[in-house]
Structure 1
């Protein structure tokens, strides 16, 4: 399946880009082809000023089943037992997850069905997530002798330690309402309302200054890794630069004058 077919792209007039995983027969697994398509799509979106928010969706009963285990198992036939293939896939997957975090636009996962292993990692890597209340999540590697170490990175940065460890050590399925309780997703809604709820969130965010959103997203992830004092020093510098930006001046003036702001995205 060609990359153009495995991941569809649709941009609306509000600047909301919907990327749709489109390999339902393989449960939208993160094959090498899918990972390459995602990497290219996020790189393209990151440099496209017309894209203000990204929704990551999927076709079929599964959002994403994680890595393509048949593809990986076939790699064991290589002289190195698959080491080169496994290394390449893990590096590629890690690159995609970091591309989502580093993408200047907010990324919202729209989750139907199940999101397991690296598919759960994909949800956790997005800035926001809205799930159908029928969706389920798990990091089930322990069932097959494979601890979900890379999904652990995103999962442990989005939910509390004990919740993350419970998912990683038991491999149990977590229903959508529980995923919302522990912070893996923002909210769970009925399947019939999923697209409307996701679009409502996306369009609300898209109406803001893209400069402000990019500044805030970058600062959020940067400060999270810093000690408290360093984080405040960094955030203070960001606030000063932000205050000097055109959109901050416009936004404050619009607030004082009780009118809608007119963003320049600068």
Structure 2
């Protein structure tokens, strides 16, 4: 397995995942899926990691989808099942995740992007699900598309296979914000630094509750969230945060 397909590093409490196949427009390979899962386990177990950033190498593409040229079949794993597992893992990851969309994001790359909590994209990026143009269909990423995009707009996107501008993707709810290319790193860094300063346990409990209640009936969701609030209030970080607020100082969160 080539570890060059996905780069991983930790810096200033942030774990950076970089799809590293620039010549292939960062197309997803089986090796990248395996490494992604391994590195997510590493990032979750590392108490020093408080946030995750997912991006692609170069300036042209964040991720162009699955490698139709054979990169999805060079490993012993089932790439379809592996990709589905990866989307579940990323969408339910207990630490906050930010997608740094540095270029075009298409097909399976849409899954990586939408599975992240926050998505910041360059204004010249294009988006879409072109699978129908080659006789396929965006099956697995439909699970995250329909949790982010209104039904009719989602169906238009997956059935036509047309490319969308960053502004169109923003208006559909696929992106958090759009910035000029020269402002991308500044915008992403600002968000990541803010996330690092929050309570790790508060964010974990909150994300877990929000993920679980997504498809619940209203009454059941409120019951779950009320219990979740009790858990958060019982943490040392919550007590520290409220004390710091009253004392007009910056809280010192420990993740407990």
Report the TM-score range of the alignment, normalised by the length of the smaller protein: over 0.9
| Contact persistence 1:30–1:68 (CA under 8 A) | yes
In 1, Cα distance between equivalents of 2:109 and 2:220: 33
| Contact persistence 1:139–1:151 (CA under 8 A) | no
Deviation at 1:73, TM superposition (A): 8.8
Deviation at 1:151, TM superposition (A): 1.4
In 1, Cα distance between equivalents of 2:88 and 2:61: 23
In 1, Cα distance between equivalents of 2:33 and 2:7: 13
Matches within 5 A, 1:111-150: 111-150=101-140
Deviation at 1:10, TM superposition (A): 2.5
Partner SS for 1:71: coil
Provide the residue aligned with 2:79 in structure 1: 89
Partner SS for 1:235: helix
In 1, Cα distance between equivalents of 2:64 and 2:211: 26
In 1, Cα distance between equivalents of 2:231 and 2:95: 19
CA RMSD of aligned residues (A): 1.8
**Which structure dedicates a bigger proportion of its chain to helix?**
1
**TM-score of the pair, normalised by structure 1:** 0.91
Provide the residue aligned with 2:210 in structure 1: 220
**TM-score of the pair, normalised by structure 2:** 0.95
Matching of residue 187 in structure 1 with residue 177 in structure 2: yes
Provide the residue aligned with 1:58 in structure 2: 56
Provide the residue aligned with 1:252 in structure 2: 242
In 2, Cα distance between equivalents of 1:55 and 1:88: 26
| Contact persistence 1:28–1:63 (CA under 8 A) | yes
In 2, Cα distance between equivalents of 1:149 and 1:64: 17
Deviation at 1:72, TM superposition (A): 7.0
In 1, Cα distance between equivalents of 2:121 and 2:14: 18
- Name stretches of at least 5 consecutive residues in structure 1 with no aligned partner: 76-84
* Equivalent residue in structure 2 for 1:41, among 24, 39, 49: 39
Provide the residue aligned with 2:11 in structure 1: 12
Deviation at 1:157, TM superposition (A): 0.7
Partner SS for 1:195: helix
In 2, Cα distance between equivalents of 1:37 and 1:64: 16
CA distances 1:4-47 after superposition (whole Å, capped 9, x unpaired): x221223222x122211111112111111111111111111011
| Contact persistence 2:28–2:71 (CA under 8 A) | no
In 2, Cα distance between equivalents of 1:163 and 1:52: 34
Q: Which runs of 4+ in 1 moved over 6 A?
A: 72-75
